[in-house]
Amino acid sequence: MLEDQPIRFIKHSSTFKGLVLVLIFVSLISCDTIGYYSQAARGQLAIVFAREDIQHLLTQQNLAPLLRQNFDTVLSIRNFAEHELGLPANENYLTYVDVERAHVVWNVFAAPEFSTNPLDWCYPIAGCVAYRGYFSEQAAENFANKLRGQGFDVYTGGVDAYSTLGWFDDSLLSTVLSRAPYQLAGLIFHELSHQIVYLPGDTTFNESFATAVEREGLRRWLLVNNEPEKMVIAEIDRGRQQDFVELITRFRDEFDSLYQEDLCAVMMRSKKQQLQVELLSEYKKLKQQWDGYAGYDGWFSRPLNNAQLSTVSSYNDLVPFFLELLQASNGDLNKFYEEVSKLAELEKSELDEVTADYR
């Protein structure tokens, strides 16, 4: 935290929304469910009450130079997002929160031992998604261990930022400040896009749309700022990410094929383990193509189970579809947003038919 006593900010509207959320949570029947939603409400409200106004912080002479630089960068990014990308900046990213931990949230994913289809959990507002989030790492691990005890493959991953979908004014969090400016820009464009269109229960649609906006927004931001060298770096990052996604998707399909075979559990586990070893081997070859880039080493240090595999493709499957839709809109972002909003209004069967070639 900063040395000076921080000024706390919270709007009456945010307080009201917080109380509404709490009432929703405690009205649910299951004691376990009440406990889960209570920690979520406490975690979110703790962030709301810890907000510090960035403009005020910038007036403090003892503000660390790196923080000052990051704050200036974020204010510039949100201005660009609002006026050049048509994203709803509103009061978002005008405040800062030091969460005093490595990640703001830890998400728990789970899948059956012999299936890459993840479990879903359903929530008010967000709909059904393939993870359960905790503001405490220990709480996430406790839930993960419970699922492991039930025989599920489990994966727990830290999250550095998220969108509250307009329920609160999202803050800049300390968990993202180690990122380069162009990475901060991509993150803010991504999170703000969720406030334009969000289809409850369809993670693939939501995250693919946000990723498409992130990519196009970042391209335009770097172009305006005349940073060709950063554009090259961003393209290299994107290429590596695409290689990673394609690798995981290919092996996910191989796991799916394996699980369709008529094998006993012992033989199935043996073949599953063999595929996991092959996946790790393929990643090592990919690293050689990347000149030793180790950005995904942490991900591959895990067991590479079904839950972990399920976290990758669902966030990216429809990105090509949305980029093609943007191109069909002649690069007009407002027209693009309108077309995506129309898609979100379709019945699920209709939307699935429209996007069938990409899922």
Alpha helices, DSSP H, located in 265-347: 265-289, 297-300, 306-313, 319-328, 333-344
Q: What is the pLDDT of residues 314-332, one digit of tens each?
A: 667 899 999 999 999 999 9
Q: Is 106 exposed, middle or buried (0-12, 13-18, 19+ CB in 10 A)?
A: buried
Position 273 scores a pLDDT of 97
* Domain membership flag for residue 134: no
Provide the domain count of the chain.
Answer: 1
Q: Which residues pair with 107 in a beta bridge?
A: 133, 157
* Domain membership flag for residue 119: no
Q: What is the pLDDT of residues 161-188, one digit of tens each?
A: 999 888 889 999 999 999 999 999 999 9
pTM passes above 0.75:
yes
Is the pLDDT reported for residue 96 higher than 80? yes
Position 252 scores a pLDDT of 93
* Domain membership flag for residue 154: no
Position 23 scores a pLDDT of 46
Distances (CA, A) of 2 to 57, 60, 61, 99, 172: 9, 10, 11, 12, 15
Put residue 93 in one of left, alpha, beta given phi > 0 → left and psi -120 to 50 → alpha: left
Residue 43: how many CB atoms within 10 A of its CB?
18
Distance CA 249, CA 25 (A): 36
Is the pLDDT reported for residue 26 higher than 70? no
Position 122 scores a pLDDT of 86
Is the pLDDT reported for residue 2 higher than 70? no
> Which positions ≥6 away from 227 have C-beta within 8 Å?
182
* Domain membership flag for residue 115: no
Tell me the residue length of the chain: 359
Position 31 scores a pLDDT of 55
Is the pLDDT reported for residue 308 higher than 60? yes
* Domain membership flag for residue 194: yes
Is the pLDDT reported for residue 8 higher than 70? no
* Domain membership flag for residue 184: yes
Backbone angles phi and psi of 131, in degrees to 5: -160, 165
Tell me the one-letter amino acid at 75. L
CB 258 within 8 A of CB 275: yes
CB 150 within 8 A of CB 137: no
Distance CA 316, CA 331 (A): 20
Q: What is the pLDDT of residues 198-239, one digit of tens each?
A: 998 888 899 999 999 999 999 999 999 988 888 899 899 989
Backbone angles phi and psi of 113, in degrees to 5: -60, -35
Q: What is the pLDDT of residues 125-148, one digit of tens each?
A: 778 888 999 999 999 999 999 999
pLDDT band at 89 (very low <50, low <70, confident <90, very high): very high
Q: Which residues pair with 95 in a beta bridge?
A: 53
Instruction: Return the DSSP state at 112.
Output: -
Which residue range(s) make up the domain with 55?
A: 12-104+160-226+318-354
* Domain membership flag for residue 257: no
Position 6 scores a pLDDT of 31
Share of the chain above pLDDT 70, in %: 90
Kindly report the CA angle at 251 between 246 and 253, in degrees rounded to 5? Answer: 100
The residue with tokens 């509250």 is 164
Position 1 scores a pLDDT of 32
What would you measure as the largest C-alpha separation in the chain, in angstroms?
Answer: 69
* Domain membership flag for residue 199: yes
